Structure 1
Amino acid sequence: MQTNSSLTAINLDPLGLNPLPPEKNLSKFLRFPLDSQNSALISLEEVAEVIKVNIVDILPIPEMPNCILGICNWRGEMLWLIDISHIINYAAPVIATPIAIVVQVNQQAVGLVVERVNDVEVHDLEQLQKVVTGLFPRSLLPFVLGVLPGDNLVLDVTAIIQSHLWQVHH
């Protein structure tokens, strides 16, 4: 049986988008707002799930930093919930229905609580630049992987999870 090699080489995309050039170092990122004017990206490879969290299902833990909202049940496991806006010192909006971006690094899962998620975007990692001092608040710099063109801030999930605030109480 003969196969049509031209058909097997075509990436059939149900959305009708052109295939991405294979030579670029393209990665997918999840965009979410930090506050009313700023947003950030995290690598989709580190995202296990995005879930809505019912406020009554969050169990606050006494004597924790304000950035740690508490714990909730996730797939039968205890999931720590961290207010991402608070940990990087942005003015945290009041969130009626929090969204948790469940990220995993080294088998450790943490829920990064945000107001909403915006979209999945594709960016070329070869264009990732170091953060210029003064462009973002100093408190944010330890949690930034870099910046992509257009001031697209990429957060370092590992740095957030390994933050001294988090590790002291984990």
Structure 2
Amino acid sequence: MKTKEKFLSFNLGVRDTAVISLQHITEVLQVSLPEICSVPEMPSSVLSIYNWRDEMLWLIDLEAMLGYPPISQRPNLLSRMMGIVLENKGKYLGLLVRELIDIEWLDTKQMKPAISELFYPQISPCLQGYFINDLEEIIFSLDATTIIQAPMWWIHN
């Protein structure tokens, strides 16, 4: 049984790194902030609706959703961000992150279980587990399906 899988790695907050399995990623796109139109009366982690392939795509501030300071509160707000388009059963969701790192092969047998006491309360439900890299750093493995199926997006959709 093959246990190596391709993951997209990206920064979370100032020091953390996270990965999402490529099997749930449809596209990666550059999003410039002027193209984002905000939506009133939405949770703070919901940044906007974005015109993607002539469809309306919800754009989520992944860091705000997971308990980090919102991207919009950063002093050095970037004019361009990276959008990771996730897909599950015909539903799409865009996650905004500051920068992508790489595509990595990771051995899923090396993934440690997510123990909720170790992590922020907001991040725990979205974790599949975590990896420890060669530098002894934790890499969060996010569960794309859980993120897409979070009730807060579909109440307003």
TM normalised by structure 2 equals: 0.88
Aligned partner (choices 65, 69, 81) of residue 87 of structure 1: 65
1:55-91 Cα offsets, whole Å, 9 max, x none, are 1211111111110011111111111100000001112
Aligned to 2:49: 71
Identity within the alignment, %: 35
Aligned partner (choices 143, 151, 157) of residue 156 of structure 1: 143
Aligned partner (choices 21, 29, 34) of residue 51 of structure 1: 29
**What's the C-alpha RMSD, in Å, of the aligned pairs?**
1.4
Aligned to 1:39: 17
User: Contact 2:16 / 2:139 at 8 angstroms: preserved in 1?
Assistant: no
Listed as ranges, the matches of 1:111-130 within 5 Å are 111-130=94-113
Q: Give the paired residue count.
A: 148
Q: Distance in 1 between matches of 2:131 and 2:10?
A: 15
Aligned to 1:141: 124
Higher RCO structure (Cα 8 Å, ≥6 apart): 2
User: Contact 1:70 / 1:82 at 8 angstroms: preserved in 2?
Assistant: yes
Off by >4 Å, runs of 4+ in structure 1: none
User: Contact 1:35 / 1:92 at 8 angstroms: preserved in 2?
Assistant: no
* Between structures 1 and 2, the one with greater strand share: 2
User: Contact 2:45 / 2:70 at 8 angstroms: preserved in 1?
Assistant: no
1:134 deviates by 2.8
TM normalised by structure 1 equals: 0.81
Structure 1 stretches lacking a partner, 5+ long: 1-22
Letter in 2 for 1:120: I
1:152 deviates by 2.0
1:10-51 Cα offsets, whole Å, 9 max, x none, are xxxxxxxxxxxxx54110000011111111000011111111
Bigger-Rg structure (1/2): 1
1:91-148 Cα offsets, whole Å, 9 max, x none, are 2343411110011111111110000101011011122221123321122100001112
Aligned partner (choices 92, 99, 107) of residue 109 of structure 1: 92
Greater CA deviation, 60-69 or 122-131?
122-131
Q: Distance in 1 between matches of 2:51 and 2:132?
A: 38
